[in-house]
Structure formats: C-alpha cells, structure tokens
Amino acid sequence: MEIPEFVETLGREGRLLAAAAEKAGAEAKVVTCPGWQVRDLLRHTGMVHRWATAFVAEGHTSYHPDGGLPELDGEELLAWFREGHGRLVDTLSAAPPDVECWSFLPAPSPLAFWARRQAHETTVHRVDAESALGGEESAVATDFAVDGIDELLLGFHGRAKSRVRTEEPRVLRVRATDSPDAVWTVRLSADSPAGARGGQGEADCELAGPAARLYLALWNRLPFPSVTGDASLATLWREKSGVT
C-alpha cells in the first residue's frame, strides 16, 4: 500500500471511531479492552494522534514524549478527538515525502511509517469503539489486514521487547486463507521472535482464517478463527503479545 492509501484509511477509520463513540456514549464499556470506557479510548487514541502529528509537523528526530491524557469528557472530549484526528490527517497529507523525523519500525521513509502506523492504530481502536455498541464491526479490507499482520509479526514482534518467547524452540505459522501467499512463519525461542513471509517447513501450531479476522485476532480483539496443532502457542500469543 502507498502513503495516500494509508492516509485515506486513517481519515475514514477516525471518522468511524468518532461516530461509534458518540453513539455509544462516554460511559459505555469497551468490550475489546476490559476495564476501559469509551472516554478512555478517546483520550488514548487522541493522545496518540497528537503525539504522531508532532513528529512529522515539528521534525523531532529522536523520541519525544506524548502530551499526556486530557481531563476532557463528553462533547468536549469528542470535539478534541476529532480536531486532533483531522490535524494528523492534514499533516500527513501535506508533509513532503522526504520529511525527516523519528520512527520506531522499519519503513521506506518516516512518512511511510507514520501513515501506516496511524492507519492501523486507528483501525484497531475503531473496532474497540464499535465493540461498545455491540453487533458486527465495520469491515477491514483484505489487503490492509494483510499489511497489518506484516506490521505486527515482522515489525512489532521483531523487536527485542517482544514477550512472545518459549524455553524450547517452537514454530508458529500464520495463514490468511483469503489472500494468496499471505503466510508467515514465526520462530519462537528464548530470544525475540524471528518472523518471515512464507510457509516452508513444519510448524508446531497454525493460526488461520480470513485476513481481516486474523488481523483482529492477532491484535487480541477477536478469537482466532482456526487453531491447529499445539494450542498452547495460541494461548502464549494471547497472554504475551500485547504491544506497549
């Protein structure tokens, strides 16, 4: 996917998030994030949007702390969220392709990183907002979901801080059943996971299903569509894969 596609997705997903939050109300429980109410979701995601905007707009080339969570609530909180989301979309849309700023996962450029990361951040939290309403969540496009699985398995869980580890070497396979060649192999050990595209060799456990369902399951928003082999690796993922 290209930068404009990510920015377009970010814009749409943020509007859907705000609409769901407004309909659910600030006190509604976020089913997919136990312990959170909609107000917590808006405060967190709005803070992340402003944090990301600052890197691109102000050109911070090293880590820069976020601005903290606001005390706002109700209509004021919703307006604050929408304003920050709009500013992020506008900043990414107007930024030069060669903008220099800090980022924390491999990407073709800092701008590509932030557009991609915020599109996925906002999509997952849109699902959270919709969970407060009950019923089915809005659809996630297959190609976007495949990209999100890539980011999670090869990006986030390629870092030393990943806690998905095993005492003995194990192999986890992840397979999107509705996208050709969307297969990943993650080698687990006492070190950080080593993931790669492709499905060569034997696996101890395979997590499979349509890309959109698998994407949300890997972000611990839905059950895994299918687990074959050693289910303890699916449990390990559930318990240890949270990203901070």
Counting Cα atoms < 13 Å in the Cβ hemisphere of 82 gives: 13
DSSP states of 179-200 as a string? STT-EEEEEESSS--EEEES--
The first and second tokens of residue 209, run together, are: 């299903």
| Strand (E) or helix (H) holding 20 | helix 3-24
The first and second tokens of residue 208, run together, are: 């499979």
**Inter-helix orientation angle 110-131/142-150, to 10°:** 110
Angle (CA) 218-223-226 rounded to 5° is 90
**pLDDT for 43:** 98
8-state DSSP, 176:
E
Q: In order of start, what are the domains of the chain with their CATH numbers?
A: 3-131 (1.20.120), 142-240 (3.30.1050.10)
As a whole number of angstroms, the distance between CA 181 and CA 97 comes to 30
pTM as predicted: 0.97
Measured CA distances, 158 to 6, 66, 105 (Å)? 22, 24, 9
The first and second tokens of residue 195, run together, are: 């993931």
Q: Each residue's pLDDT tens digit in the chain (244 positions)?
A: 999 999 999 999 999 999 999 999 999 999 999 999 999 999 999 999 999 999 999 999 999 999 999 999 999 999 999 999 999 999 999 999 999 999 999 999 999 999 999 999 999 999 999 999 998 889 999 999 999 999 999 999 999 999 999 999 999 999 999 999 999 999 999 999 999 999 989 999 999 999 999 999 999 999 999 999 999 999 999 999 998 7
**pLDDT for 124:** 98
